[in-house]
Amino acid sequence: MIRLYWKNATDKAISAEHGITGSDLAVVEPRVQHALRSVLERAARGEPSYVELPVNAVFRQQVREMVEKFRDNTTDMVVLGIGGSALGNIALQQALNPTTYNLLSDRKRGGPRLFVLDNVDPAMVDDVLKLLGRRLNTTLFNVISKSGETAETASQFMIVREMLRKRLGDGFADRIVATTDTEKGTLHDIASADGYAMLPVPAGVGGRFSVLSPVGLFSAAMCGIDIDALLAGAAAMKKRVETDDWQVNPAAVLAAIKYIAYAVKGKPIHVMMPYSNRLYALADWYRQLWAESLGKKTDRDGQEVFAGPTPVKALGATDQHSQVQLYREGPNDKLLVFLEVESHPVRRRVPEVFEDVPGLSYLRKQDLGKLLNAEKRATEYALAASDRPSVTIRFNNITPQTVGEFIYLYEFTTSLTGEMLNIDAYDQPAVELGKKATFALMGRTGYEETAAEIKPFARTDKKYLV
């Protein structure tokens, strides 16, 4: 189970200027209650659609059947996707499988090696495809795109499809699974024509909210992660956050803290800092969820608000030596969200050596998990001593259940925060111009006008080239 501890964001730990006071909570309470009622009313109607994913038995069964079809004949799996079609896959794999998973033998892994091509960096794509060259006939490619026209994923898919077709002949389609719209779209039509196995991208679920759907569940299940436990954890959190008593609702309390920090206390930067390498990719997943959902120019009334706390990631204890100097003595414009693990997945003790070396003897026989957690508490204390607020999300351990809880907690918190900011947390209009500009620069038909607009901007002005 995960729990939220927030005393160190209040005036009980730091000053009233930077910490949340009883008066702050009283002022914001009507806004929190309104947001919670609004989100709960929509959730009761299954809106937005992500709220039903933890209890969707159909998707779970579809994933199981697909795993049954491919698990025994697959040594390697490659996910082709970007943004929400990739970050959740990476986060689940990093959190719930060993760091050395891909380095283990086929027998010891018990599932395929997993590679997620979440960018079009040519060196990365080429390195992975060369590595897999001799095992193409046992490599499964999962291309994830609702429309099939996302330039990054489409270009990867075109490369892979042609490579498979040349190497495997008529059987190439047997090594591709398309996760896409079930009724229409470019990828849907190609998949139908070529004969790929298909999984659904759920209607009404934005990519950043899709990890608990086949988008994220398929690669997880293929690699031996217990998706039933993952979804059970999400369902347990769903039940916890559906209480209308906001003061015992972890999502509502977290949304209230984040809103006050952002809108009242001048903290526009929200840093997520896991004290666990396994949870680090969850901070990447959070950054997209938070930034794309809450970064909006206008509110629902059409007023310009330029809303959105900026999400940043850090890793404890690594970034105590690279970022905490700034966090303690730089601008007091940050809220820290620590992820703490009470019982780490393994125990590793320091040997009983150097008993006569004063600067090292205290570490003898100590457990590294204890040291890591001490580092977290020390940083938490140091921040409070510098009048910097923080909250902690405590994992009793890292399991599919607790990871599922965390994912749903942050999705629901994002919905609540969107309501409190009076913005639409489910669209992403600012992303579209960049997509259109990419189409124009790459010569796509129909984007000639955009290409003409870009041309002066894209031309290098030598005056500014040094």
Q: How many distinct helices (H) and strands (E) make up the chain? A: 16, 12
Considering just the CA atoms, what is the radius of gyration of the chain in Å? Answer: 24
Catalytic status, residue 435? yes
Task: Find out whether 217 and 195 touch, Cβ atoms under 8 Å.
Answer: no
Catalytic status, residue 453? no
415: closest CA among 8, 20, 3, 41? 41
Cα(34)–Cα(256) distance, integer angstroms: 12
Query: Strands 197-200 and 176-180: what pairing?
Result: parallel
| Beta carbons within 10 angstroms of residue 445's beta carbon | 6
92: closest CA among 270, 206, 198, 234? 234
Catalytic residue among 183, 304, 321, 462: 321
Question: Phi and psi dihedrals of 166, rounded to 5?
Answer: -70, -35
Q: What are the DSSP calls for 377-410, one per residue? A: HHHHHHHHHTT--EEEEEESS-SHHHHHHHHHHH
420: closest CA among 36, 26, 27, 22? 36
Tokens of 327: 């966090």
Q: DSSP letter at 350?
A: P
325-to-290, 319, 373, 383 alpha-carbon distances in Å: 25, 9, 19, 10
Q: What are the DSSP calls for 199-249, one per residue? A: EE--TT--GGG-TTSHHHHHHHHHTT--HHHHHHHHHHHHHHHT-S-GGG-
Tokens of 442: 């790459």
Catalytic residue among 292, 340, 405, 419: 292
Annotate 197-231 with b (16+ C-beta within 10 A) or e (fewer). bbbbbbeebbbbbbbbbbbbbbbbbbbebbbebbb
Task: Find out whether 316 and 274 touch, Cβ atoms under 8 Å.
Answer: yes
Q: DSSP letter at 309?
A: P
Beta bridge partners of 269: 310, 334
Q: Is 304 helix (H, G, I), strand (E, B) or coil?
A: strand
Catalytic residue among 12, 34, 297, 435: 435
Catalytic residue numbers, as ranges: 292, 321, 435
